Amino acid sequence: MKKVAIVAYFFHEDNIVGSIRARGLAKYLSEFGWRPTIITRGDRSYRDDKFDVIGVDFTEFDRALVKGFDLYVAEDVVSDKVDRTNNLVNLAIDLWNNVTQIPDAQRGWDRACYSRIAKMCKDREFDAVITTSGPFSSHLLGARVKRKFGIPWIADLRDLWSQNHFYIYSKYRNKLDTMIERKVLRDADFITSVSNDLVGKLHLIHEAKEIRAIKNGYDPQEFEDTKELDLVFSLVYAGKIYEGNQDFVSILEVISDLLKRDRISRDMISLEFFGADLPALTKMIRDLDLGDIVKNNTRIPRKMMVKKLMGTQLLLLLPWNDPEQKGVISGKIFDYLAAKRPILSSGHYDDEATDMIRELNAGVHCKTREELETALLNRYDEFITTGKVDYHGHVQQIEQLSHRKMAQSFACLLDESYKKHSR
């Protein structure tokens, strides 16, 4: 069996999409002739039946630099030593980050990893390498390994680099990042991303490269247990909400209006958010007097979340409200599909996630408040009549979105690039 190093900064975290993608690769890639070794952050190293894990620790680049100014940055929170209400302080920190965090705050971890990977490559322990980002500095490691040892390299961009929809730096820094991205990824055998739209955007920068879309997926073993459905007309939303980019307002206003019109009963409906991390949501729940119906919960362990998804009557999806970002697909869509419960999607535009919902008959996407009210009422009336909302998704097609299929797609690229290098 051939061996591949997978450089994944996030791996052990339960609720980070990048971590879930890497764990899916680790779990299923060996079924297709490639035994993976995961290179990840931390000091945990161990061997599993299907993969190995090597933990590499380091001091984050921005943390070390900012400490030099007697500031402390960790998990995007600045300590009380820094007055972030002061515009000059904010400007100074933003300028500092523009200059030092190139390509990102984790720069330096790739250098810490290189010595471990280089030794193993010298001993011919790896036949290929996959780097998955963010952080994007992981790809610096992939490029360095490719140049030094000549083994196949796949650069997996779960999110875009210089074209990122959350890009926080200046336009001058963006030109620099674009230049760095082109230079770093030019030697990759394949570039991959998670949607067709993102692949199209990558082609604008990497015109001559082989770029493929490999969707995220779900682990079927996580969804094997059965769960009794809730006895009320329940809706569940899982994950963070980005104010201004996702419409959480419409569903709350529709529920509030239907309650006022006595079209639905307060005793028969519930809506739970998990991990939204949004004070504005809490305020709106209070302002609309929905506190007895709508709960803004903190994040819960993944196993508990999976049970919630499988037991709810409806799954609420809030797509990205930007027609230019159709490829920004939340990883939760795959968990929703795996849960085999109807999806109620509310957003102003279509994207690749809403296309999947339609193609798989897994639910309905509503672009207007009127459509949302109609869809919600139809499913509420069905629940009142039958005691549940039936699911009509195309199960066999949904099974093609598993982590096993995702791993198989990566294995095909590894096989293809390995054959090219063996000629």
Per the model's pLDDT, the better-predicted residue between 85 and 242 turns out to be 242
CATH fold, domain 220-400, is: Rossmann fold (3.40.50)
The yes-or-no verdict on residue 343 having pLDDT over 90 is yes
For the ranges 155-159, 205-209, 246-250, 370-374, the lowest mean pLDDT is seen at 205-209
Which residue is listed with tokens 């933990």?
Answer: 55
Which residues lie closer than 8 Å to 111 by C-beta, 6 or more apart?
none
Q: Is the pLDDT of residue 165 over 60?
A: yes
Same fold, 2-58+108-217+402-422 and 220-400: yes
What's the mean pLDDT in 109-118? 89
Query: What would you report as the CA-atom Rg of the chain, rounded to the nearest whole angstrom?
Result: 23
Residues 6+ apart with CB under 8 A from 417: 128, 152, 153, 154, 189, 190
Contacts of 48 (CB under 8 A, 6+ apart): 26
Cβ neighbours for 121, distance < 8 A, ≥ 6 positions apart:
145, 148, 149, 151
Q: Where are the domains of the chain?
A: 2-58+108-217+402-422, 67-102, 220-400
As a whole number of angstroms, the distance between CA 233 and CA 226 comes to: 19
End-to-end CA distance of the chain: 19
More confident residue, 67 or 43: 43
Report the share of the chain in percent with pLDDT over 90. Answer: 74
pTM for the model: 0.89
Better-predicted residue by pLDDT, 361 or 94: 361
Which of these, 325, 8, 320, 318, lies nearest to 196 by C-alpha position? 325
Q: How confident is the model at residue 73 (pLDDT cuts 50, 70, 90)?
A: very low
- Coil vs helix vs strand at 99: helix
In the predicted model, what is the mean pLDDT of residues 59-67?
Answer: 47
Question: What is the phi/psi pair of residue 219, to 5°?
Answer: -90, 110
- CB of 139 closer than 8 Å to CB of 163: no
Q: How many residues does the chain have?
A: 423
The answer to whether 195 and 215 are in contact (CB under 8 A) is yes
CA distance 117 to 94: 33
pLDDT of residue 72 exceeding 50, the answer is no
Nearest CA-CA partner of 340 in 366, 319, 314, 365: 314
| Cβ atoms 146, 187 nearer than 8 A | yes
Helices H / strands E in the chain, number of each: 15, 16
Tokens in use for 173?
Answer: 């820094």
Dist CA 210 CA 416 (whole Å): 12
Query: Lowest-pLDDT range, 238-247, 373-382, 388-397?
Result: 238-247
Encoded amino acid at 204, one letter: L
Burial 294-305 (b: 16+ CB within 10 A, else e): bebeebeeeeeb
Q: What tokens appear for 27 in the block? A: 């779990």
CB–CB of 285/253 below 8 Å? no
The answer to whether 142 and 129 are in contact (CB under 8 A) is: yes
Q: Give residue-wise pLDDT tens across range 391-422.
A: 999 999 999 999 999 999 999 999 999 999 88
CB neighbour list of residue 138: distance below 8 Å, 6 or more residues apart = 7, 8, 9, 106, 109, 110, 131, 132
Q: Which of 61-75, 99-113, 405-419 has the lowest mean pLDDT?
A: 61-75
Residue 282 has pLDDT above 80, yes or no: yes
| Measured distance CA(185)–CA(192) in Å, rounded | 11
pLDDT tens digits, residue range 178-232? Answer: 999 999 999 999 999 999 999 999 999 999 899 999 999 999 999 998 889 999 9
| pLDDT confidence bin for 67, thresholds 50/70/90 | very low
Q: What is the dihedral of CA 319, 321, 325, 329, to 10 degrees?
A: -10
Cα-flanking dihedrals φ and ψ of residue 17, to 5°?
-55, -40
DSSP 243: B
* Mean pLDDT for all residues in the chain: 90
Distance CA 410, CA 405 (A): 9
* Banded pLDDT at 148 (limits 50, 70, 90): very high
How confident is the model at residue 392, as a pLDDT?
Answer: 97
- For the beta carbon of residue 220, count every other beta carbon within 10 angstroms: 16
Structure tokens at 281: 């949501």
Q: How confident is the model at residue 149 (pLDDT cuts 50, 70, 90)?
A: very high
Q: Which residues contact 183 (CB under 8 A, 6 or more apart)?
A: none
Phi-psi label, residue 275: left if phi above 0, alpha if psi -120 to 50, beta otherwise: left
Q: In angstroms, how far apart are the furthest CA atoms of the chain? A: 72
Instruction: Indicate if the pLDDT at residue 423 is higher than 80.
Output: no
| Segment among 32-36, 135-139, 234-238, 318-322 with least mean pLDDT | 318-322
CATH (one of 3.40.50.410, 3.40.630.30, 3.40.50.2000, 3.40.50.2300) for 2-58+108-217+402-422: 3.40.50.2000
Place of tokens 């995007």: 76
